[in-house]
Structure 1
Amino acid sequence: MIKEQALLESRTLRENVRGRTETLDKVKALTLLPDGLHVTTALVATYFVVHRSTIKNLVARHRQELTESGLTVLQGADLQEFEGLKMSPSNESYPQAKRRRLTLYTRRTVLNIAMLLRDSPVAREVRAHLLNAVERNGAPAADLERRVSAIEGVLGEVGSAMRDLAMVVHRMDDRLRRMEARLGDVETRLGDVETRLDRMGTELESTQRIVAGMSVRLADLAGDPDISHRLCRRYRHGRP
């Protein structure tokens, strides 16, 4: 049998049973807004016979979970539209003058609160009816508790695996950064080589121009008979 403490402590267990909103009516009637779907913080507090600040503090601690079960906060144009279409301006139970925001709860949200609110006798009674309904009409309570524990165990393993994966990704990221740094060094060196090759190409072009000029000069000298004769006599006598 599922114990009340398990319901208070296990979010997974609460998510599995928060659709059984008929449990609320077995304890007492829940007063809804004129739209027939929502209640305000004041109406929730009235249902559980607690102060509104108790509900507000509980919402602050479990906002994500309660949002998933239907909690909505209206403001601005959305609030004006809701008040104009869903709420009667003449109904003094729902004052609307200068309201800046309005927190709305569905029946699922109210049941979710009943599974979180520890010190309300009404909430405890709702939990008792809910656990009885689960055991009577759904899967056996012990089996449901085992399944919830198994799910939570799997989630724990997934969390561990995700942490390991994050470490692997971090190491791979470090290696990629080192490779990028090395590639940057290679690119820098290639840039230096290209600069040197450009400089050598410029020097080679200059040398080619000098050689070409010398070739033209030699050709001019070779065409002078007197100079050719004197060069031949020097080389025949072994003089350079």
Structure 2
Amino acid sequence: MRLEIRMSDLTVPEARDKRNSLASRTDVLDKVGVLATLPGDMHTTTEMVASFYGVDVELVRYHVKANREELDTDGYRVLTRSVFESEFGSLSNLDPRARTIALFPRRAVLRVGMLLRDSSVARRVRDYLLDSEQRIQSMNVEPLTGLEYALRLVDAEKRVLEAQARAEMGEKFKRAIEGGDGLTLREFHKKYFSAITETAFMEHLYSKGYLINQIGKGAVRTEGPKAGTRRDGTQHRHPTYKGKRFFYLHGGGIHGGKRREGTRVRPGHWELELRDQLAAEGLAANENTAGLFVIEGGNSKGLA
């Protein structure tokens, strides 16, 4: 009895096998909070993990050091700063003195949650993991007659066919929304939030910290009808660290000897997540935004 109780505690060293068996359940992370990630939505840093669990960075580092072998199996790795920046770019929130940066895939983030004791978020992670496992183990296996078995096979086949049909529709949905380089800010506004002005839409993105606002903060114009006024800053409308989850800089080629880049919405599920996030923040969304369109050469095209 004592051993059984102890093994239900995922934080103890003896529970390593249990942690290994649950390490693939990364879906639990989305049930307890919003995990900030690096560009690509695949990795986080030590600081991001600490913020997610609401603990000090040094506590995360302590558990990494004490359980490094386990975390290595989850894909945890440490990169030099130069390698990190070549892969992810230079991030403004990184400690400029840091020579190395640790990367945590979602499995490693989940394992940290199984190890942290003094975190309410980590406790919720462990509760979800253990509760779901107990529900599976408590299911009673009843003997079936031949007819019952045959009926269940027919029912199972029906569910498979229905699931395949839904998957085909989902794939069509995915291909449509991922069919280009993503929407421009104007296209996204027109598609989902045309009930408000484009100016109000952009002000919301600035005020909520998704995009950088450098209106009138650039170099002074020296000629032309606007001489004496300031241009917009070179990073105007670029995504902030927060905004990089939903936006990216799309290369527009070289013009006048300068590389042109425009901010676009990341294609795929990020587009829909952004729509829902902005609506939750109070922006008036269009009544019907279910229709998808593919961007072809900068023009929108309806999807039948």
TM-score, structure 1 normalization: 0.51
**Greater per-residue strand proportion:** 2
The residue that corresponds to 1:101 in the other structure is 100
Q: Which has the higher contact order (CA 8 A, sep 6+)?
A: 1
Aligned residues: 134
Specify the SS of the correspondent of 2:25. Answer: coil
Deviation at 1:47, TM superposition (A): 0.5
The residue that corresponds to 2:40 in the other structure is 35
Answer yes or no: is the 8 Å Cα contact 2:28–2:128 preserved in 1.
Answer: yes
* Mapping for residues 55-70 of structure 1, pairs under 5 Å: 55-70=60-75
What letter is aligned with 1:7? L
Are positions 1:123 and 2:122 aligned together?
A: yes
Residue 11 of structure 2 is aligned with which of 2, 8, 18? 8
The residue that corresponds to 2:55 in the other structure is 50
Larger radius of gyration: 1
Are positions 1:113 and 2:112 aligned together?
A: yes
Are positions 1:19 and 2:24 aligned together?
A: yes
What letter is aligned with 1:23? V
Hey, what's the Cα distance between the residues in 1 that align with 2:65 and 2:83?
Answer: 26
Specify the SS of the correspondent of 1:113. Answer: helix
Residue 86 of structure 1 is aligned with which of 85, 88, 103? 88
Deviation at 1:81, TM superposition (A): 3.3
The 1:108/1:141 distance shift into structure 2, 3 A limit, reads: farther
Residue 140 of structure 1 is aligned with which of 137, 141, 151? 137
**Greater per-residue helix proportion:** 1
* Mapping for residues 151-162 of structure 1, pairs under 5 Å: none
Specify the SS of the correspondent of 2:101. Answer: strand
The residue that corresponds to 1:171 in the other structure is none
Percent identity (aligned): 35
The 1:98/1:126 distance shift into structure 2, 3 A limit, reads: same
Q: Cα deviations across residues 212-236 of structure 1 (Å, max 9, x unaligned)? A: xxxxxxxxxxxxxxxxxxxxxxxxx
TM-score, structure 2 normalization: 0.41
Hey, what's the Cα distance between the residues in 2 that align with 1:68 and 1:141?
Answer: 30
Deviation at 1:85, TM superposition (A): 3.0
* Mapping for residues 156-195 of structure 1, pairs under 5 Å: none
Specify the SS of the correspondent of 2:9. Answer: helix
Q: Bigger shift: 97-106 or 116-125?
A: 97-106
Deviation at 1:141, TM superposition (A): 6.8
What letter is aligned with 2:110? L
What letter is aligned with 2:99? R
Hey, what's the Cα distance between the residues in 2 that align with 1:94 and 1:18?
Answer: 28
Question: What RMSD over aligned residues (CA atoms) do the two structures have, in Å?
Answer: 2.4
Specify the SS of the correspondent of 1:123. Answer: helix
Deviation at 1:135, TM superposition (A): 3.0
